[in-house]
Amino acid sequence: MDQNNQAQKQSQNSSSMAANGPMLANRNGNLTSLAALSIAMASVHGLLFKTFHAHWNSKGSCFLAVHEFTKKNYAILIEELDLVAERIRALDGMAPTDHATLSSKSILKEDHVDIYDALKLSRHLADSHHDIERQYQTFIKQLDDEDPVTADMFTGLAKTHGKLAWMYKAMMD
């Protein structure tokens, strides 16, 4: 296939993606609800695996406290994933489920795998919860006028992440 045909085919694929798939930005340049929800789902998915890592692999004097606290936390994160996925479906989107998509959309880095000290893992999880809380606050501002239901959902979820960050920090004192 020559370069002109490749360019034409690529242009057609891009046009059909925009027409059939969820747009990433609205007319004001803000993220759409579906884009924000997909980022949220990806980020919480990443946080869930960080939490599993801390639950299974932490070591140190506060191991038991971290082990028990992370068990409660991953149940909360699984509930959040379900809530976000259901909101995506309610908006006629499809929840992302493949690892490559989730990894690419997450605001969190996969930088936890070499940390085993329970206190360091607690700090790392506190920081990750704060990162998600801040991201949700951005989503709330962007979505409040156009999709108050999703903005309200993010308000409750941001509060939860703020509380969990505080609790991880309190464990370190």
Please check the confidence at residue 20 and state whether its pLDDT lies above 60: no
> Does residue 14 belong to any structural domain of this protein?
no
Task: Give the CATH number for residue 151.
Answer: 1.20.1260.10
> Does residue 44 belong to any structural domain of this protein?
yes
Do residues 143 and 30 touch, judged by C-beta distance below 8 A? yes
Q: What is the pLDDT of residue 34?
A: 94
Q: Beta-carbon neighbour count of residue 127 at 10 Å? A: 14
> Does residue 8 belong to any structural domain of this protein?
no
Please check the confidence at residue 10 and state whether its pLDDT lies above 50: no
The count of domains in the chain is 1
> Does residue 22 belong to any structural domain of this protein?
no
CA distance 23 to 31: 8
Give the rounded percent of residues in the chain with a pLDDT score beyond 70. 82
End-to-end Cα separation, the chain, in angstroms? 64
> Does residue 136 belong to any structural domain of this protein?
yes
Least confident of 9-23, 100-114, 119-133: 9-23
pLDDT band at 159 (very low <50, low <70, confident <90, very high): very high
Please check the confidence at residue 134 and state whether its pLDDT lies above 50: yes
Q: What is the pLDDT of residue 29?
A: 55
pLDDT band at 110 (very low <50, low <70, confident <90, very high): confident
> Does residue 19 belong to any structural domain of this protein?
no
Range of the domain at 125: 31-172
> Does residue 25 belong to any structural domain of this protein?
no
Q: What is the pLDDT of residue 19?
A: 30
